[in-house]
Amino acid sequence: MSGKTLYDKIWDAHLAHEAEDGTSLLYIDRHLVHEVTSPQAFEGLRMAGRTVRAPDKTIAVPDHNVPTTEGRENPDQMPADSRTQVAALDTNAKDFGIHYYPVSDVRQGIVHIVGPEQGWTLPGMTVVCGDSHTATHGAFGALAHGIGTSEVEHVLATQTLIQKKSKNMKVEITGKLPPGVTAKDITMAVIGETGTAGGTGYVIEYCGEAIRELSIEGRMTICNMAIEGGARAGLIAPDDKTLDYIKGRPHAPKGAQWEAAMAWWQTLHSDPDAHWDKVVTLRGEDIAPLVTWGTSPEDVLPIDAVVPAPDSFEGGKVGAAQRALDYMGLTPGQKLSDIEIDTVFIGSCTNGRIEDLRAAAEILRGKKVKDGLRAMVVPGSGLVRAQAEEEGLADIFKQAGFEWRMAGCSMCLAMNPDQLAEGERCVSTSNRNFEGRQGYKGRTHLASPAMAAAAAVTGKLTDVREIV
Amino acid sequence: MQKFDKLTGIAAPLPLVNIDTDMIIPKQFLKTIKRSGLGVNLFDEMRYDRQGNEIPDFVLNKPAYRDAQILVAGDNFGCGSSREHAPWALLDFGIRCVISTSFADIFYNNCFKNGILPIVLPQEDVDKLMEDAERGSNATVTVDLESQTISGPDGGEITFEVDPWRKHCLLNGLDDIGLTLEKAPAIDAFEEKMRAERPWV
Ligand code: SF4
């Protein structure tokens, strides 16, 4: 019998029931909740007279809708419909007795940043949230994935999820990264390689030297975009860096429980003889700073490339590429580094953590944002914001001409007032460049925080290696 | 949940790949706290101009497709955001079945929870149905879940695969939560075991 993958091990450790056909009830250790995908689930509970089975394992925070301007506790700052959603979460958290970080709490932020920051996310756990980027928590060796609202209600009521097991896929990044190349470039490179449906039906485990070398925050960036490759979840086996990150966090185990937990966590890795249904290997040395040119996260190219011609693709992608170029207002053959931009957005659960802000500030120190360009930094949580202020990063951003905002999802999906106007072009550190994602007819180029900072300085898509 | 057994209706062709849930229902419509009423905003940015006028070229605005109940679409339908508002909007519009070569995982799950049948078929079958769908109201398609077959307007029959458990739930309109709660003893036992083995959770 072959050994087990990390995914197999976590799966087996959470199987509460298994039917003959393989349909399983997977026990859920942490359920994260935000204001957009939960109101109908709580409403469903109420209508059926049900309660939340494990309120102590359920954590709620408003993030998608909230304004990111100061003084936002003032309800006038929020449009009525957003206010209704946030108020519904306030009420539901109180009525059902779940952990809650309201807008006024310094610990409030993007749900996928708050969970790990507070020590809610631990290795070997199952973590779900009504949000596709729940994959982020896989960086700790937790099986974490997004669910729909019906499933949110199911987890609230039963603390389990009906699941069928996915297949195992290994993504190995060997060797070292060249200068200027970051976790964001790795994760975009993988999607460029596999396509947005390449991971469908799989749980991905990322491994290899380049992954091991990354910080925990970098690993979160990697797993965050596993969903953009279609995978159910992304995982990275825990190691000493993981334990260092977790230790001492408010909800991390302490004392004897810490010792017991560590003993189990150390078994959480794929066995050498584990079976993989698919393996993808990339050489770290071959990865360059990347940007997207189209309207799908698979539309990635190195910054020194040119806009591709639609007929260089195959099948349905030919039409999709033409549509993307029309939408993006680009011409085949145009150098990516000649593309002028209006806006820079640094933030999101992909790249809104302290190391991301440090990387961007490093580029911006002593420089100015290009005249007429709008640039904003939205820290991923109130605590990230506070730390950046303490480290002097906020001053660097402000002196460079960036807006320094409060925490939330903001222009990652533009559900709050932070939006692109029609035709505006943005370099964004978020994860989706879909049509309309950052505002109606807005145009998005995804990139790393350092690349976004470099673009803010020159007003064009820019190779960060030419700035430092 | 509404049962799904047999559906005969007009199929609308949407031959685009990677139709994401942002396209199916843009975020400005996610601020509702209800499940209903999203159908008018289905595919909003493709369907209406900035002034809210219908764009006549868009398939669901064409007279032949206004009552479509089936959608035939390109690869990787429903990718992106986990929003269940996407199947809610489809359902509210009247779509009960989506046919493609592939679906994104979360969207696929979400469909079954809402009485929508997502069907995965090989490219050639999707191409064939896409052609049928191009013929509009002259060409109804019948989807029979019990026998797992699709019959086109010209009498041809295509079979499809579906997970037996999901089929059972759809055919009977079963509510997952009720079914899982019947297994409460197993969940209790699991929690008991975990309190001993992994008390830090
Ligand atoms: S930051 Fe963006 S991707 Fe992350 S949870 Fe918020 S909206 Fe979703």
Question: Which positions 119-138 of A are in contact with B (Cβ < 8 Å)?
Answer: 122, 124-125, 130-132
pLDDT at A99 over 80: yes
pTM of the predicted model as reported, rounded to 2 decimal places = 0.94
Ligand 1 lined by A287 (C-beta under 6 Å): no
Strand order across the A160-163 sheet: A15-18, A24-27, A160-163
pLDDT at A388 over 80: yes
Going from the Cα of A409 to the center of ligand 1, the distance in angstroms, rounded, reads 5
Ligand 1 lined by A412 (C-beta under 6 Å): yes
- Give the pLDDT band of residue A117 (cuts 50, 70, 90): very high
pLDDT, tens only, A177-221:
999 999 999 999 999 999 999 999 999 999 999 999 999 999 999
Residue A23's pLDDT is 84
Interface test with B, best of A23, A33, A34, A196 (most B CBs within 10 A): A196
* Amino acid found at A374: R
pLDDT at B151 over 70: yes
Residue A468's pLDDT is 64
Q: How far apart are CA A276 and CA A375, in angstroms?
A: 43
Residue A338's pLDDT is 98
Cross-chain Cβ contact A48/B177 below 8 Å: yes
- B78 to chain A, closest Cα gap in Å: 10
A435 and A337 in contact (C-beta within 8 Å)? no
Q: How far apart are CA A203 and CA A302, in angstroms?
A: 27
Cross-chain Cβ contact A436/B84 below 8 Å: no
pLDDT at B2 over 80: yes
Please give the C-alpha separations between residue A167 and each of A129, A194, A339, B137, in angstroms, as whole numbers: 21, 15, 40, 41
Percent of chain A residues topping a pLDDT of 70: 100
pLDDT at B46 over 70: yes
* Amino acid found at A283: R
pLDDT at A1 over 80: no
- Going by alpha carbons, the residue nearest to atom 4 of ligand 1 is A349
Backbone angles phi, psi at A376, to 5 degrees: -140, 145
Of A212, A218, A215, A203, nearest to A170 by C-alpha is A203
* Amino acid found at A152: V
Which secondary-structure segment (H or E) carries A173? strand A167-174
Cross-chain Cβ contact A23/B15 below 8 Å: no
Cross-chain Cβ contact A435/B22 below 8 Å: yes
* Amino acid found at A94: K
C-beta atoms surrounding A137 within 10 Å: 32
Residue of A nearest to B35 (CA): A40
Cross-chain Cβ contact A230/B76 below 8 Å: yes
* Amino acid found at A109: G
C-beta atoms surrounding A23 within 10 Å: 16
Going from the Cα of A445 to the center of ligand 1, the distance in angstroms, rounded, reads 16
Ligand 1 lined by A431 (C-beta under 6 Å): yes
pLDDT at B111 over 70: yes
pLDDT at B136 over 90: no
Alpha carbons within 13 angstroms on the beta-carbon side of residue A13 total: 22
pLDDT at B15 over 90: yes
* Dmax (CA) of chain A: 65
Residue A8's pLDDT is 98
* Averaged confidence pLDDT in chain B: 94
Burial class (CB in 10 A: 0-12, 13-18, 19+), B150: buried
Token couple for A312: 């260089």
| B196 interfaces chain A, CB cutoff of 8 Å | no
For chain A, the first-to-last Cα distance in angstroms comes to: 52
Cross-chain Cβ contact A316/B74 below 8 Å: yes
Alpha carbons within 13 angstroms on the beta-carbon side of residue A5 total: 26
Token couple for A154: 């199911």
Q: How far apart are CA A346 and CA A348, in angstroms?
A: 7
B139 and B133 in contact (C-beta within 8 Å)? yes
**Average pLDDT, stretch A429-454?**
97
Interface test with A, best of B27, B46, B112 (most A CBs within 10 A): B27
A392 and A354 in contact (C-beta within 8 Å)? no
Residue A351's pLDDT is 98
Residue A448 is classified by DSSP as -
* Amino acid found at A375: A
- Going by alpha carbons, the residue nearest to atom 6 of ligand 1 is A409
| A356 interfaces chain B, CB cutoff of 8 Å | no
Concatenating the DSSP letter of every residue in A277-343 gives SEEEEEEGGG---EEE-SSSTT-EEETTSBPPPGGGS-THHHHHHHHHHHHHT--TT-BGGG-B-SE
* Averaged confidence pLDDT in chain A: 96
A420 and A414 in contact (C-beta within 8 Å)? yes
Chain B residues near residue A29 by CB distance under 8 angstroms: 201
Left if phi > 0, otherwise alpha if psi is -120 to 50, otherwise beta: which for B70?
beta
pLDDT, tens only, A345-361:
999 999 999 999 999 99
Angle at A8 between CA A28 and CA A52, to 5 degrees: 5
Concatenating the DSSP letter of every residue in B118-147 gives EEE--HHHHHHHHHHHHTGGG-EEEEETTT
Q: How far apart are CA A378 and CA A419, in angstroms?
A: 13
